[in-house]
Structure 1
Amino acid sequence: MTSSVFIIPGLGNSGEGHWQTLWEKQFNFTRIQQRDWETPRRADWIDAIDKALAPHDPANVILVGHSLACAAIAFWSDQYKRKIKGALLVAPSDTEADTYPPGTSGFTPVPLAPLSFPSIVVASTNDYYVRFERAQQFAKAWGSKLVDIGDAGHINVAAGFGAWEQGLGFLKELDR
């Protein structure tokens, strides 16, 4: 990777076997730490993103968000309008859905404004946190390329995803 890559996990953080954690360790990517992984507040999360990126050249920054982090990145883009190299948005959660876990604050409604940078949304057709049609809506609204990876659950450890080589290919696509 020629860019500075920042890992942003979703609700609950990404554990030891999660592809984000494996990438972080293997490639020395930077994880953006949040104050509260279990009952997050939107303002805290987007502030943490902005502070983590501040010392870096935005033209060289790629964000890798999973689940709730995708909404956080959309809120961050909407608020700050920063131009970065790109974002890989994997398994975006629908915080407005009845099936979304309680405890988050300020993550609704999900922003539907175009992102201020190139992005790829990777979605599954059977993700329990977002209907595929809703993921399509997010990708279209954000101006993202949509990649349908079929029945892949929430694209996490529980769905059988470890190092996730295919995902690295999507990341490399943004790093051109």
Structure 2
Amino acid sequence: MNYELKPTILMVPGLRDHVSEHWQTLLQQRLPKALSVPPLEHDKLSCAARVAALDAALAKIDGPVILVAHSAGVMITVHWAAQHKREIHGALLAAPADLETPMPAGYPELDTLEQNGWLPIPRKRLPFPSIVGASRNDPLARFERVQDMAQDWGSRLVDLGEVGHLNPASGFGEWPMAETLIRRLVLM
């Protein structure tokens, strides 16, 4: 794929930020025009701080952008889209975490979501093309809930099958389908 005249790819990681074996990190290392929203030093659980970090990263990019978000990064993206008007070429929204439903054990940082500005999840149609990748067995979101979010956002839904939360704990380092879905967004 020739990325020279293509959009910049901006990774929007979830709450656990940058994980070296994560598919987003590996993808960023492979693509010549890929960047990532930097990790926060303070207010790591604040939705407003995460949205501001995304906006600051976008302000440094000239030209078209494709957002590639995972988990809570999807929620950061939809909160950002509800508040800002910058043109975005498209977004890949992979394994969105359903922050409105109780989380399984092992995610204590998610117990304070409402007071940190994450809820409710924005359900307005996104102002850019988007693809939502949904897992059939994601412990952080039932498939039907993600299907409803995708419909509300005006996103194309891609059924990823049983891929857990699409993270290293689910067996994903490399996720080759991400490049295929990004290519689709480039052509939109």
Shorter-chain TM-score: which interval?
over 0.9
CA distance in 1, matches of 2:23, 2:79: 24
1:54 to 51, 59, 68: 59
In structure 1, the residue matched to 2:134 is 123
Instruction: Give the conservation status (yes or no) of the 8 Å contact 1:11–1:37.
Output: no
Rg: which structure is higher?
2
Change (3 A) 1:168 1:37: farther
1:34 to 26, 39, 51: 39
Which 5+ residue runs of structure 1 have no aligned equivalent?
A: none
Task: State percent identity of aligned pairs.
Answer: 39
Deviation at 1:103, TM superposition (A): 4.0
Instruction: Give the conservation status (yes or no) of the 8 Å contact 1:18–1:162.
Output: yes
Change (3 A) 1:78 1:27: same
Instruction: Give the conservation status (yes or no) of the 8 Å contact 1:13–1:37.
Output: no
1:147 to 145, 158, 162: 158
Deviation at 1:38, TM superposition (A): 8.4
Change (3 A) 1:87 1:98: same
Read off the aligned partner of 2:134 and give its amino acid letter: A
Read off the aligned partner of 2:162 and give its amino acid letter: D
In structure 2, the residue matched to 1:65 is 69
In structure 2, the residue matched to 1:107 is 118
Q: How many residues align?
A: 175
Indicate the larger mover: 23-32 or 60-69: 23-32
In structure 2, the residue matched to 1:43 is 48
Instruction: Give the conservation status (yes or no) of the 8 Å contact 1:39–1:103.
Output: no
In structure 2, the residue matched to 1:88 is 92
Give secondary structure in 1 for the equivalent of 2:78. helix
Change (3 A) 1:147 1:38: farther
Give secondary structure in 2 for the equivalent of 1:78. helix
Deviation at 1:102, TM superposition (A): 1.9
CA distance in 2, matches of 1:44, 1:65: 16
Instruction: Give the conservation status (yes or no) of the 8 Å contact 2:92–2:131.
Output: yes
Read off the aligned partner of 1:19 and give its amino acid letter: W
Deviation at 1:56, TM superposition (A): 2.6
Give secondary structure in 1 for the equivalent of 2:10. strand
CA distance in 1, matches of 2:139, 2:72: 13
Change (3 A) 1:141 1:66: same
Indicate the larger mover: 160-169 or 141-150: 160-169
